Chain A
Amino acid sequence: MLVVVIAVAVAVVLVVAWLLSRRRTPDGVDSFRRQIDALSPEARRPTIDKIKPSGDGDDPLDGNQSEGNES
């Protein structure tokens, strides 16, 4: 009896895990849409706004650019 209960529980867990993994896998349309949305000017604004002019010799961890150089 116990073996049957364990087998059923394992089967249920496997089915649930499989369903969750299917739900997490985006199809082509969804992932393309998410990529395009993430590239929109509104989505990019917070990143691009992080660049602020500052003086030389700043603490490198202060979140500002320190000096313009060619890359």
Chain B
Amino acid sequence: MARDLAIDLGTANTLVYMKGRGIVLNEPSVIALNRQTGEVLATGREAWQMIGRTPGYIVAVRPLRGGAITDFEITERMIRLLLQRVGVSRFTRPKVVICVPSAITEVERRAVTDAARRAGAADANLIEQPMAAAIGADLPIDEPVGNMVIDIGGGTSETAVISLGGIVALEAVRVGSFDIDAAIQNFVRREHGIAIGERTAEEIKVAIGSADPTPDENQAEIRGRDLMTGLPKTVLLTPEEVRFAIEDVVSSIVSSVIRCLSKAPPELSQDFLVRGMYLVGGGGLLRGLAERIERETEVPVRMSNVPLEAVVLGAGHVIEHYEALKGMFMGARR
């Protein structure tokens, strides 16, 4: 008999929570395929290490973009392999709860549940990421008070106001930390004339990226391919340049938070001034982002204790209390 599972099917990473055991898998949402035969060569971390470094016949891809499935067949194969790694077989078919962006369309919803069922799940239900994040971040969402959670993932950023176990206001944009990486790549190409890969752009973001000026800022040495000569080249990049490069993406995220605040009922709005907003998701770890949101909204911003695992922990709690919480599934309330 398979243990039921909760899956945070993220654009960047996939986390799996097994009922009664906790988080059993945390891997990049990447799959490497043989381009000629279609054979799967690697998934997860192993496939991630291949990104941008593969020979012509191998392709390492992220089958999700902006929180949505861009390649149904590859996503299904990736989910099947991940489920196999946590013990799911054709004879042990678990119930599965999957976290998805709240703004996904009906077609995308169907794609996710179909992919999970075809990958071995007996039943697949969806839950909104901000709701799962609020449960996992241990916010008092069972009380009649305003709880605000900002979930910045790889491909989506969602802000939700939650009270009494339900979403009161919601704002989502299909912009996330991958867009920050892409903005850095474009900037370096445009301003310094060198091409860098997405992994290098992510390393720059982690090393010197920030949404607001921070103390102890250092320059970073960037290595890439000169677009004019085709030769390897090194340039120096400053934190100010990176801030300039990612400004549009950061502004878009902050604007969505402000729009969500403006949608909240006044009775709940006053709670935010006291309780603050909670930041979860890997994108929330960008230096200076909490300070930037706090400065622009004049509402305190706090980082969750488990920013990277909050979503899957929340979904895991739903799978632990399946009968009591099945009313929280997407579609169950409509």
Using a CB–CB distance below 8 Å, which chain A residues touch chain B?
31, 34-41, 43-44, 46-48, 50-52, 60-71
- The interface on chain B, measured as residues whose beta carbon lies within 8 A of the other chain's beta carbons, has a size of 46
Whether A71 lies near B320 (C-beta < 8 A) is no
Residue of A nearest to B133 (CB): A71
Chain B stretch 114-166: residues in CB contact (< 8 A) with chain A: 135-136, 138, 140-142, 153-154, 164-165
Whether B308 lies near A68 (C-beta < 8 A) is yes
Whether B23 lies near A51 (C-beta < 8 A) is yes
Q: Pick the contact of A48: B13, B136, B153 (CB < 8 A).
A: B136
Supply 16 A–B pairs (Cβ within 8 Å), ascending by A: A36-B142, A36-B164, A41-B140, A47-B316, A47-B317, A48-B317, A50-B23, A51-B23, A52-B22, A60-B24, A60-B85, A63-B18, A69-B12, A70-B282, A71-B12, A71-B282
Whether B24 lies near A70 (C-beta < 8 A) is no
User: Which 6 residue pairs across A and B have the least CB separation, nearest first?
Assistant: A70-B282, A50-B22, A71-B10, A38-B324, A39-B142, A38-B321
B38 contacts across to A, CB distance below 8 A: none
Docked complex Cα distance between A63 and B25 (Å): 9
Whether B21 lies near A63 (C-beta < 8 A) is yes
Q: Pick the contact of A67: B26, B142, B281, B325 (CB < 8 A).
A: B26
Q: Is the interface of A mostly helix, strand, loop or mixed?
A: loop
Given contacts A31-B327, A71-B312, 13 further A-B contacts (CB under 8 A): A36-B142, A37-B142, A50-B313, A51-B23, A51-B306, A63-B22, A64-B22, A64-B23, A66-B25, A70-B154, A71-B153, A71-B281, A71-B311
Residue of B nearest to A61 (CB): B24
A44 contacts across to B, CB distance below 8 A: 135, 138, 317
